[in-house]
Amino acid sequence: MTTQTLSPQQRIADCLKHQLCVACLQPARRGRIIRGCHERCYRATIRAAQAGKCTIEERIAQGKLLYSQPTGRKPSNAVSMELQRKKRSRS
């Protein structure tokens, strides 16, 4: 896989298909995966952004970091599920 010629969307799709870290392109089968990256790669990206070397938006645009996903447990009882549906319909 030659990542230099791929668009960011193609890079992300290939990484997800082959279970690779989107930042370092190494296998991402074990350990904690955050926003498509190994935990170490994600932390390095955050440190670089805090140091002003890049921005999170740039890394996302390059296909080297995924957008954040909603966190937490999904509702499991009827009342919580109903409230979540109402919340979505208002938005």
Q: How far apart are CA 4 and CA 25, in angstroms?
A: 12
**Cβ proximity of 14 and 57 under 8 Å:** no
Residues in a beta bridge with 27: 20
As given in the structure block, the two tokens for residue 56 are 């999170």
**Cβ proximity of 21 and 37 under 8 Å:** yes
Taking only the tens place, the pLDDT of each residue in 11-64 is 999 999 999 999 999 998 888 999 999 999 999 999 999 999 999 999 999 999
pLDDT for 91 equals 62
